[in-house]
Amino acid sequence: MENLLTVEKLNVIYGKGAEAVHAVKEVTFHIKPGEIFGLVGESGCGKSSLGKAIIRITDPTSGTIDFKGIDVASLKGKALKTYRQEVQMVFQDPYGSLNPRMKVGHAIVDVLNVHKIGANTAERRERVTELFEAVGLNPAWAWRYPHEFSGGQRQRICIARALALNPDLVVADEPVSALDVSVQAEILELLQELREKRGLAFLFVSHDLAVVRNVCDRVAVMYDGEIVEMGGVEAVIDQPQHEYTQKLLSAVPAF
């Protein structure tokens, strides 16, 4: 099967000269269609910078990002807009990701409006209903405000919004770390269900090895901007080869 995303020798450097921060160093990996690919490492190791470069919120300094044969680094204008439909992001904080003054369904209708999806308001509202059902929420709740939902429900809403444009890849940056453990499990199940039903692939960014072991197919371990180890989750987590992975694992009581 061809890769959905291929990242080669990617570098992200913020600033210049003595002040420069080399956040991502020569990173190479790929994601297959429908794969849940984990990216783990401590705070500050460059995980978010890599995720943001892939969705082009941050510009890579050098290296290549190939998405379905498209050279992502060089995209501009309309082509960049189209790419941003196919690759979406879900963030850690479902509270901060929703406008408190906007009914949640309207937030999704807005996305559909911007991308000119659906012929009219009725069709867009119908799409909101479908998306709510897809993430396990009662569609009647779509016309409520964010404060009326729990943390887990808000994260489901953010996932529904990310699905609105039918992406092939979702970059999920610590999507469950702000949630209670029991709610985390429900959201992880939802991500797996979306992968099975829609063939959606995820770059799943997390500092939590237990969560990664649970949900990912393969994982890359990042340390100081570099990928130091990569492979199937069982192999990497059960038999870590790199000293840093061993150190990360020894800090988790469950392993």
**Which residues of the shown chain bind ligand ATP in the complex (CB under 6 A)?**
14-15, 21, 23, 41, 43-49
Smaller CB distance to ligand ATP: residue 149 or 202?
202
Instruction: Name the minimum Å distance from CB 49 to ligand ATP.
Output: 3
Q: How far apart are CA 146 and CA 154, in angstroms?
A: 7
Helices (H), the chain: 47-54, 77-86, 104-114, 121-134, 151-163, 181-198, 209-215, 233-238, 243-250
Smaller CB distance to ligand ATP: residue 46 or 105?
46
> Which of 79, 117, 87, 126 is closest to 5 using CA atoms?
87
Smaller CB distance to ligand ATP: residue 41 or 105?
41
Smaller CB distance to ligand ATP: residue 45 or 142?
45
Instruction: Name the minimum Å distance from CB 102 to ligand ATP.
Output: 27
Instruction: Name the minimum Å distance from CB 174 to ligand ATP.
Output: 7
Q: How far apart are CA 50 and CA 88, in angstroms?
A: 14
Kindly calculate the radius of gyration of the chain based on its CA atoms and give it in whole angstroms: 18
Smaller CB distance to ligand ATP: residue 23 or 209?
23
Instruction: Name the minimum Å distance from CB 14 to ligand ATP.
Output: 3
Q: Which residues are 22's β-sheet partners?
A: 13
Collect all residues with Cβ–Cβ distance below 8 Å to 122 and sequence separation of at least 6: none
CA angle 132, 170, 151 (to 5 degrees): 50
Smaller CB distance to ligand ATP: residue 41 or 146?
41
Q: Are 172 and 204 in contact (CB under 8 A)?
A: yes
DSSP code of residue 77: H
Instruction: Name the minimum Å distance from CB 95 to ligand ATP.
Output: 17
Instruction: Name the minimum Å distance from CB 183 to ligand ATP.
Output: 20
